[in-house]
């Protein structure tokens, strides 16, 4: 069945777990205050690593949110997504029943999946032998398990899978969930991204790529998107999940509607496994198609939540792509990278940043790009430097890019 263009998809519930708070209100408050969630890594001894900093979810007790027995059987990435989904469902007021469960689906993406489980069980294998490896290892580490567990918790029997597209996973999950609603496969989708990859092996791997910031003496100023002296991304962890519904379904049940997910597009650079296209062609195409899908003109976008990773290549190429798509309007709209505060949540980035976009529309406030002291001459747009701003917002766009050249753009607007 093809998408029904007349079916409008709206956001009715929000949930988030991040280094800036274990729920959406605390995340949003800290973002507007320009707070950084980045500090020295506490999960493991990182003194021998080139990068020793991260945006960890601290003071976290999953047993407060999840049955302890179930928690032990699942990975930290699943814990985050499970809790964010529970928040989003509660926020939406949705009641999933035996009668409507067939029309409710789940799509929660993860770029890496159960890395904690992978590493801990490899250690068990090496030190204690194959018979001591947990029988829950495979279910815990696979990237679709968060979606499966959320469905079990809520009785959601509709479309269900995990999407993997590196750092675009959460955004793609939301966009494809919206397509599922427009196709008529579901009335409601619980969708977003979750990630927990602050582990020794993941850090060693990213450090070997020289992709992460080594500003270890000043963690809170290490993530500096669009800044001249940026030196790499800072890893974060957490989850962002939303409840999406058809507008008709949301109105029929009297739901509070935040906004509309009006447009979405996915493209590929087909250029390089880690480096973005230097001409920004793939991202430009994604933004152009997302705007077309939403049926709005470029000049109607007031704010862009940029991918903005604080890496040398991404920030200048994303800036170039924005200029290509928006022309002179690029100088009038506001752009910010909230990764300057949350760190880069990899596959969860699109989920958390979409939640931020929704809060931007709801409140008319823009979260800043902190640590923007000396802008890169090639990054010459309005990046909302260092302080939150009140701003007239009609429609916003969110970008996420992933290794492999994958791009995702989404447009949110007021209903």
Catalytic residue, candidates 154, 344, 357, 379:
344
| CA–CA separation, 177 and 88 (whole Å) | 15
Catalytic residue, candidates 79, 116, 146, 167:
167
172 annotated active-site: no
307 annotated active-site: yes
Q: Which long-range contacts (CB under 8 A, 24 or more apart) does 282-288 make?
A: 282/405, 282/407, 283/317, 283/318, 283/321, 283/399, 283/401, 283/407, 283/409, 284/321, 284/324, 284/325, 285/407, 286/399, 286/407, 286/408, 286/409, 287/321, 287/322, 287/325, 287/397, 287/399, 287/409, 288/325
Over the range 232-249, which residues count as b (16 or more CB within 10 Å of their CB) and which as e?
Answer: bbbbbbbbbbbbbbbbeb
Rounded to a whole number of angstroms, the CA Rg of the chain reads: 20
CB atoms within 10 A of CB 43: 17
Catalytic residue, candidates 172, 259, 307, 357:
307
First to last CA, the chain: 26
| CA–CA separation, 148 and 128 (whole Å) | 30
167 annotated active-site: yes
Give the ranges where 184-336 is alpha helix by DSSP (H).
200-209, 247-252, 281-294, 312-326
| Residues with catalytic function | 167, 307, 344
């Amino acid at each position: 069945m093809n998408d029904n263009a007349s079916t409008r998809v709206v956001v009715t519930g929000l949930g988030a777990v991040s280094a800036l708070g274990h729920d959406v209100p605390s995340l949003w408050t800290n973002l507007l205050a320009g707070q950084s969630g980045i500090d020295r890594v506490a999960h493991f001894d990182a003194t021998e690593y080139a990068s020793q900093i991260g945006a960890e979810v601290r003071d976290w007790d999953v047993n407060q949110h999840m049955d302890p027995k179930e928690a032990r059987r699942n990975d930290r990435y699943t814990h985050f997504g499970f809790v964010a989904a529970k928040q989003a469902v509660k926020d939406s007021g949705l009641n999933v029943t035996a009668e409507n469960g067939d029309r409710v689906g789940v799509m929660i993406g993860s770029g890496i999946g159960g890395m904690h489980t992978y590493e801990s069980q490899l250690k068990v294998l090496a030190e204690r032998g194959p018979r001591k490896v947990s029988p829950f290892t495979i279910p815990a580490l696979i990237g679709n398990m968060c979606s499966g567990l959320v469905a079990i918790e809520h009785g959601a029997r509709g479309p269900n899978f995990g999407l993997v597209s590196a750092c675009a996973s959460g955004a793609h999950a939301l966009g494809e969930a919206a397509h599922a609603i427009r196709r008529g496969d579901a009335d409601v989708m619980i969708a977003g991204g979750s990630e927990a990859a602050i582990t020794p092996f993941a850090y060693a791997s990213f450090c070997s790529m020289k992709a992460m910031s080594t500003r270890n003496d000043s963690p809170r100023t290490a993530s500096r998107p669009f800044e001249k002296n940026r030196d790499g991304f800072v890893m974060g962890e957490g989850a962002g999940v939303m409840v999406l519904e058809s507008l008709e379904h949301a109105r029929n049940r009297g739901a509070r509607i935040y906004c509309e997910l009006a447009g979405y597009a996915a493209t590929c650079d087909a250029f390089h496994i880690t480096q973005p296209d230097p001409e920004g062609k793939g991202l430009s195409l994604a933004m152009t198609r997302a705007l077309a899908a939403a049926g709005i003109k470029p000049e109607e976008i007031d704010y862009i939540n940029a991918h903005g990773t604080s890496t040398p290549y991404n920030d200048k190429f994303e800036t170039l792509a924005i200029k290509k798509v928006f022309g002179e309007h690029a100088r009038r709209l506001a752009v910010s990278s909230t990764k300057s505060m949350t760190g880069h949540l990899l596959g969860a980035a699109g989920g958390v940043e979409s939640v931020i976009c929704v809060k931007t529309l709801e409140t008319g406030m823009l979260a800043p790009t902190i640590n923007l002291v000396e802008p890169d001459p090639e990054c010459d747009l309005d990046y909302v430097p260092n302080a939150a701003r009140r701003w007239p917002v009609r429609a916003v766009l969110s970008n996420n890019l992933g290794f492999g050249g994958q791009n995702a753009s989404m447009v949110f607007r007021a209903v």
